[in-house]
A and B are shown apart, each in its own frame.
Chain A
Amino acid sequence: MGFFKKSPWVLHYDGSSCNGCDIEVLAALMPKYDIERFGIINTGNPKHADVFLITGSVNSQNIDVIKNLYEQMGEPKVVVAVGACACTGHFFAECYNTLGGIDKVIPVDVYAPGCAARPEVIIDAVVKGLAVLEEKKKNKQK
């Protein structure tokens, strides 16, 4: 059934972002972009969420948290890495405690590049993620 497409609930986690991408994520929720049009809700609770939206890179402080949140999300789930930091580590990649992009810890399904990632890109990424979600659901049913 195609309901995952219609109601993706998002968990937004700020890894070690400079806050730039976070602001863009919030902007997407605001009247101008209004992602609730697509049924997207920011739940703030991994158990309710379908889409794991991470901004910022992984470091040794937050690695466990990211893993934990990912584990606590119910299948099917997608991970969207928002911003260059989340995708690759960006210019923090060389830092002593930075491990790199999110895909170092958990499998990332959609990458949303940009520094900061624009709201349009974020929305695009989430919508792309929905297709992945549907696919995962189907695969699971098989």
Chain B
Amino acid sequence: MDINVCNGECNVMSVIIAVIIFLILAPLVGGLISGADRIITARMQSRVGPPVLQPFYDVLKLFGKQNLVVNKYHGDYVLCFLIFTILSGCIFFGGGNLLLAIFALIVANVFIVLAAYCSNSPYALIGADRELLQMLSAEPMLLLTAVALFQVTGSFNVSEIIKTNRMPFIYLPGVFIALTYILTIKLRKSPFDLSTSHHGHQELVKGLTTEFAGPSLAYFEIAHWYETVFMLGLVYLFFANVPILGVLVVIGVYFIEILIDNVNARFKWELMLKSAWLATLILGVGNLFLLYILSF
């Protein structure tokens, strides 16, 4: 999204302002996106769907619920998940190092996996393992995106990437497509909702999140909003020099994600891993190769 206000000289003040704006706006934007998502999904299934503010109602309700835990530690890991997700977003929208932002996101992800591992529930454990597989599938492409953007714009710093006067997308169409493929995994959408299934009444129950109740689940949801905004921000970077186009593309990409979500059944993990790595290798790395050859 276009919250990354780090143009002009990127001094400490503007970074702090950007971070504060991010902290406040991101959950709002993320929640609204999620609400719109639910409406559009409902419309695609010829239903009416909930109000657009439904995700906020859900989260606020969850805060009112009893905090059920299976042991005294597992709620804390969820909190860490939230904190590190926010941190990764702050690094990103504060114009910091893209790699560092992604690594912070990975740390956040590790925490959510640990939360599931420590819950001692078979469903959560399966979810944890699958989340790990999702990370294994998606992480390479995320990092590769950072490398690719660096090769085009000459910097790992988001603040400098958005100042570029060429459009990264033109140089990196393959990377862009592969990233949108991976996006489905990161947004936990079908066909890649392996670790936390959309619908509870399945073999997984709720996977990773099965044991989170009340406030813990609310933290998870909020973190997911931040995560969504971060991911879409990453998409935006490909069109950073034309902000309007960037926003349009972000909206378009998210719509496509919803569409994919609605027309697919869940993949098995092998298919996910193979297809994601193939996309990364062929589209992502292939794109870099082309870039390398052509820029001679």
| Chain A residues close to B by CB (< 8 Å) | 1, 3-4, 6-7, 9, 12, 31, 34, 36-39, 42-45, 47-48, 50, 72, 74-76, 137
Chain B residue with minimal CB distance to A141? Answer: B64
- In the complex, what's the smallest C-beta–C-beta distance from B225 to chain A, in angstroms? 16
Q: Among the listed B45, B68, B202, which residue makes an inter-chain contact with A72, where contact means beta carbons less than 8 Å apart?
A: B68
B67 within 8 A of A: yes
B217 within 8 A of A: yes
- Chain B interface size, as a band, is 20 to 34
> CA separation between A75 and B214, bound complex, in Å?
9
Question: A3 and B200 in contact (CB under 8 A), knowing A36-B49, A39-B54, A47-B68?
Answer: no
Q: Among the listed A31, A36, A74, which residue makes an inter-chain contact with B65, where contact means beta carbons less than 8 Å apart?
A: A74
Interface pair B68/A7, CB less than 8 Å apart: no
Interface pair B64/A137, CB less than 8 Å apart: yes
Interface pair A6/B206, CB less than 8 Å apart: no
B134 within 8 A of A: no
Q: Among the listed A39, A43, A72, which residue makes an inter-chain contact with B206, where contact means beta carbons less than 8 Å apart?
A: A43
B212 within 8 A of A: yes
> CA separation between A113 and B54, bound complex, in Å?
30
> CA separation between A72 and B214, bound complex, in Å?
12
Interface pair B66/A44, CB less than 8 Å apart: no
Chain A residue with minimal CB distance to B205? Answer: A45
Chain A neighbourhood of B213, CB < 8 A: 47-48, 74
